[in-house]
Structure 1
Amino acid sequence: MSRGRRATLLTALVAGAGLLAAAAAPATAGARGPRDVHPALRANLVSFYDFDHPVPGDPALERDLGRSGTEIELVNGGAAMRVREHAYRGSGRALQTRQVDPATAGNDDWKAGIFSASGVRTLRPFNAVAGTTVMGWFQVNQDGPLPNSNTADPADSYNAIGLAGVLTGDSDGHGVRALLELINVNGELKLVALGRRLDGGASQTFAASDPWQTLLPAGEWVHLAATFDFSAGTMALYRNGRPVEGFYTTAGDPWQVGGPGPHVTSSTDPRGIKIGGSYPQDTREQNPCDCRMDALTFLDRSVSAAEVAKQYRHMTGRR
């Protein structure tokens, strides 16, 4: 999609946000929500993308089966980014993201998402929210961060691999409120949950203790979840329905939750969602992911360990 068409999409989203926010879940999701989401989670389901629902007339856009109706763009690759692969029982297509030309400082990497400098009003459930959950199926097909196309040094690589997250209300397309990714922690790449409660404020990172290659073996589908309890100042990671041991990388109180509450995120609408890399508005390349993804799920609540396990069993049939 051209930037002009993208701007038209964003204008329509902003103009129709009030109606979308008040509307019930899209018809394709059913009144009770998408069948791939456990019933216990559907009330808090803001956005859900299974990459089996292109927008009629524009296959470069993917429909949202959550209550927000926030369409995302399949950036640079369009319909070709939907690939036939079964991440879990009952899945159809998955999303393919990848770096295209590491030797050129261009904007051609395959990624997905949405961005609006004025905030995406359909994502208002993440405005002044006490908790968030990001989860989905991921298949990583690279050995580490990819070459940095923004520098002239061919030996320079990015310090992270972007998976999926919600942007802050003041984001330039990179800064996040809630994110799953792989990032360098003390000189070692780690699977992390990275969150920021306040726009312009400090982030906190919860990093998995195990090597990332153990948690995400190359070519293997893995269900990941990251929970963000902004009220309590805590985060957690889950792999295939089980908690992942980890540690916080920043000491003290970076989210500023030590004083009187309630402690919620900034009262601003997120500027969008990023998937498979940063800058969904396609103005810069950053942290690309040679990955496949499916059933990307964004909730406006920090769900429990038991609920993550229920969701994993619901999708895999291990009831």
Structure 2
Amino acid sequence: MRRPRRAALAATAALALALTAAASPARADRPGPHDVHPALWPHLVAFYDFDHPVDGDPALERDLGRSGTEIELVNGGTAMRVPDQAYKGSGDALQTRQVNPQAAGNDDWKAGIWSSSGVRTLRAFSGAEGTTVMGWFKRDMDGPALNSVTANPTDRYNAIGLAGVLTGDSDGHGVRALLELIDVSGELRLVALGRRVDGGASQTFAANEDWRTLLPKGEWVHLAATYDFTSGTMALYRNGEPVDGFYTTAGDPWQLNGPGPHVTSATDSRGIKIGGSFPQNNLERNPCDCRMDGLMFLDSVIPAGDIAKQYRYMAR
């Protein structure tokens, strides 16, 4: 990855914050992206449809949400935009994938942004009461990929990364809110994984149903996950419908028994990761041989009814 591009990306994100800070949060009557139901506009921090390359650097993707947080298409650049309609009216989709499982390199196709000082345009996730991550996903793999950073040639990762928001102290892997497939007691499951306090424990809400049924190979599926940091609850949705599941960690991993308010750490998120970890491209982990589209990152818990509206709005 070219360092000048990374510097330009951080500078552009800072400029976007300066230009939009006075207008945030967005008003309910403020026009939003045409692919987003108006009920979600006030909460839409970042939205990527992979049809909007940045002028002058098409390896960057424009944010159609209010934050203006551009992300990088890591390693594959423009080749990662592929013609595949996830929903009616969509154009290109994002292709992520493992490139060389036999070598300990940094060549996997993934997307995102990372800054060691935090991404200021993602400040909506600092001290947040809730978060929602949603989008369209199509998998093209039968399980976690071969682990390219261990000596064992048959070792595999324990997860498949979809999309998430990083913590304020993240090394490129740790998250505040993440959609992924991960091993739970020896069985791969679709999960929402959240962390309220930087450096603190995470909680996982895992789907009961088989992950291959929820995310059939070669089929576009709309997934959403909500994270209520005030109540300590999470939820999963598939094609607008709630998904039954269970929490994997007993006790109080989000430290809600102490004095409130119970919100996320008051630190700027260090970025967004899509299709694998470490968007700064210094390590590989949990690659996803997948296509993705219509990715949304919102700064509140979107009600079930509005998630259903968004699915129907895109799938109409």
Report the TM-score range of the alignment, normalised by the length of the smaller protein: over 0.9
Tell me, yes or no, if structure 1 residue 293 matches structure 2 residue 292: yes
**Equivalent in the alignment of 1:79:** 78
Post-superposition shift, 1:262?
1.6
Post-superposition shift, 1:22?
3.0
**Equivalent in the alignment of 1:14:** 14
TM-score normalised to the size of structure 1?
0.96
Tell me, yes or no, if structure 1 residue 41 matches structure 2 residue 40: yes
**Equivalent in the alignment of 1:194:** 193
Write the mapping of 1:217-256 to structure 2, written as runs, cut at 5 A.
Answer: 217-256=216-255
Paired with 1:272 and 1:170, the residues of 2 have a C-alpha distance of 10
Post-superposition shift, 1:18?
2.5
**Equivalent in the alignment of 2:160:** 161
Paired with 2:126 and 2:239, the residues of 1 have a C-alpha distance of 29
Tell me, yes or no, if structure 1 residue 2 matches structure 2 residue 5: no
Residues 225 and 237, structure 1, Cα contact 8 Å, conserved in 2 = yes
More off after superposition, 49-58 vs 10-19: 10-19
Residues 161 and 180, structure 2, Cα contact 8 Å, conserved in 1 = yes
Q: SS of 2:99's equivalent? A: coil
Paired with 1:101 and 1:25, the residues of 2 have a C-alpha distance of 42
Tell me, yes or no, if structure 1 residue 262 matches structure 2 residue 283: no
TM-score normalised to the size of structure 2?
0.97
Residues 145 and 286, structure 2, Cα contact 8 Å, conserved in 1 = yes
Q: SS of 2:313's equivalent? A: helix
Paired with 1:115 and 1:274, the residues of 2 have a C-alpha distance of 8
Paired with 1:174 and 1:7, the residues of 2 have a C-alpha distance of 21
Paired with 1:133 and 1:24, the residues of 2 have a C-alpha distance of 18
1:164-189 deviation digits (Å, cap 9, x = unpaired): 00000000000000000000000000
Q: SS of 1:52's equivalent? A: coil
1:75-122 deviation digits (Å, cap 9, x = unpaired): 000000000011011111100000000001000000000000000000
Post-superposition shift, 1:21?
2.8
Q: SS of 1:253's equivalent? A: coil
How many equivalent residue pairs? 314
Paired with 2:122 and 2:16, the residues of 1 have a C-alpha distance of 12
Write the mapping of 1:176-195 to structure 2, written as runs, cut at 5 A.
Answer: 176-195=175-194
Structure 1 residues 173 and 65, CA gap change in structure 2 (3 angstroms): same
Post-superposition shift, 1:273?
0.1
Q: SS of 1:200's equivalent? A: coil
**Equivalent in the alignment of 2:215:** 216
Unaligned residue ranges in structure 1 (runs of 5+)? none
Post-superposition shift, 1:3?
2.6
Q: Which amino acid aligns with 1:161?
A: I
**Structure 1 vs Structure 2: percent identity of aligned residues?**
73
Residues 25 and 33, structure 1, Cα contact 8 Å, conserved in 2 = no
Paired with 2:221 and 2:54, the residues of 1 have a C-alpha distance of 27
Paired with 2:161 and 2:58, the residues of 1 have a C-alpha distance of 23
Paired with 1:200 and 1:14, the residues of 2 have a C-alpha distance of 25
Paired with 2:164 and 2:171, the residues of 1 have a C-alpha distance of 14
Paired with 1:263 and 1:166, the residues of 2 have a C-alpha distance of 18
Post-superposition shift, 1:5?
1.8
Paired with 2:92 and 2:129, the residues of 1 have a C-alpha distance of 33
1:271-316 deviation digits (Å, cap 9, x = unpaired): 0000000000000000000000000001000111111111111111
Residues 130 and 227, structure 2, Cα contact 8 Å, conserved in 1 = yes
Q: SS of 1:227's equivalent? A: strand
Q: SS of 1:308's equivalent? A: helix
Paired with 1:220 and 1:84, the residues of 2 have a C-alpha distance of 15
Paired with 2:24 and 2:219, the residues of 1 have a C-alpha distance of 35
Paired with 1:53 and 1:216, the residues of 2 have a C-alpha distance of 27
Q: What is the alpha-carbon root mean square deviation over aligned residues? A: 1.5
